Amino acid sequence: MRSRRPHRRLSTLAAALLAGTFGLGISAASADPGDGSGPDGDDRVRTSTSSKAGTGKPAGIGLSGTQLAPDQIGRSANMELLKNVNPAGPLADSTGTDIAFEGNRAYVGNYDGFTIYDVSKPANPRMLSQVVCPGAQNDVSVSGNLLYLGTDSSRSDDSCASTSQPATQKDSWEGIKIFDISDPTNPRYLKAVETSCGSHTQTLVPGDAGTDYLYVSSYAPNAAYPDCAPPHDSISIVEVPKANPTAAKVVSTPNLFPDGGLANTSGCHDITAYPARKLAAGACMGDGIIMDISDPVNPRVVERVTDPNFAFWHSATFNNSGTKVVFTDELGGGGAATCNDAVGPTRGADAIYDLGSDNRLSFKSYFKISRDQFDSENCVAHNGSLIPVKGKDLMVQSWYMGGTSVWDFTDSANPREIAYFERGPAAGDDGGGTWSSYYYNGHIYSSDLGKGLDVLRVTGKDVAPAAGVKMDEFNPQSQPYVPRG
């Protein structure tokens, strides 16, 4: 469906959509019931209750990587799958992407739209609605009654009934769509804002009480694209008056790399804001940056680092005190097997930096899962978030077919994995592994590219205090300061 930059997904998009469809709300009754009441053959709901014959020990504990058969579960003893809800409805054959949270709801992006789940009972997620609105990657953020959706594929127009159209055509559209989610069973499309080179990712930066700013990241310009010509060393900033979201508009396009950056830097892949310190960390293809966002319309780059071991600066996560940043390297673009001895522990990995009071970054170490995967399995560092525990720096993170990892970087120089969950090589054509794994109000939610939503529970003394920490809203790329458990 994308006519410009290479596509990262490994499964196939839905063959067709309803003609003229713009937002299709599906009631919980017509979706997966989420209560485990289906017969054992109902492959839309999976649990991890099977055991090794004769041992009474749950299957998969201690197994990982090349020990696993296709789709077999492997996990540490302190991580369990509570529920898997397979894709359903018109998004069933498409690719799951990022997640945002508000109250008892999870908003899960998909290359063909997004799904809203009620997660008030985490072990039994209940689908509230789906919106069909194709436009990779459909990165999501939520703010009160508004949902922001990023479109990074060249479309015939800004509607949810658009079709793919070459980026070489001037009238093609990419950018931000805004939805009213005050009724989560029936989201309403309100407004679209076009941005240069589209919106591969978008980051919510709160302004004053009535304003949101979206930092829109995109990359890979081409001289043949009228709306995405080189050098494209900028981001787009969309201002949204929350009381009048239809007045949303691009208010600035700051150039982050006046000197051009590295040779492969032509935009940013992702930005994570930390409003409590008025900072943001940008992963910008060939560069990692720190920005001062005290004036959100005019961010300033105050620190910049490079790393010869990094192929593609993909994303960033602050620790809770804002004194460290974890950058990820998406070597191979999410489609390659990099979790093996041949690639090694310092490429396709996380890089941990201490962040000083002067906003200078100091490299400390790399972290990469040591669970070698088959060469058929795409595996590399991807999206994650903190687990809020006082006195510790803990993170949960997706590794595509390497699964979901929980790791401790309290000692910046000596990070270690403390829990994991993964599946063996994908059977059939619904694979690709987990795109995003985030901790929210006591549970881990993972968006698998082909297998839908996983709800996981991690236990043990390292993580137990986090269970008492509750948030009302969570956009992982807009990190709040979280009082720790």
- Considering the domain boundaries, does residue 484 fall inside one? no
Instruction: Give me the pLDDT at residue 10, please.
Output: 33
DSSP at 89: G
Give residues with Cβ within 8 angstroms of 79, minimum separation 6: 404, 406, 419, 420, 421, 456, 457, 458, 459
pTM for the structure as a whole? 0.89
pLDDT of residue 427: 73
pLDDT value for 297: 97
Can you tell me the distance from the alpha carbon of 266 to that of 249, in angstroms, rounded to the nearest whole number? 23
CATH of the domain at 214: 2.130.10.10
| Domains of the chain: total | 1
> Within a domain: residue 443?
yes
Alpha carbon of 459 to those of 26, 79, 133, 403: distances in Å? 34, 7, 37, 17
Q: Is residue 204 part of a domain?
A: yes
Cβ-proximal residues to 255 (8 Å cutoff; 6+ apart), any chain: 233, 234
Domain presence at residue 278: yes
- β-strand partners of 191: 178
Q: Do 133 and 177 meet the contact criterion of CB atoms below 8 Å apart?
A: yes
Structural domain for 349, as ranges: 28-474
**Minimal CA–CA distance to 201: which of 275, 149, 252?**
149
Give Cα 29 distance to the centre of its chain: 28
261: in domain: yes
Tell me, yes or no, whether 101 lies in a domain.
yes
Whether residue 326 lies inside any domain: the answer is yes
The CA angle 295-385-325, to the nearest 5 degrees, is 55
**Local mean pLDDT, 10-residue blocks, the chain (485 residues):** 32 26 29 29 30 54 96 97 95 95 98 98 98 96 98 98 97 98 98 97 94 96 95 96 98 93 84 97 96 97 97 97 97 96 98 97 98 96 97 97 98 98 81 93 97 97 95 96 78
- Residue 296 domain-assigned (yes or no): yes
- Nearest Cα to 191, choosing from 233, 154, 223, 146? 146
Q: Cα–Cα distance between 72 and 426 in angstroms, integer?
A: 9
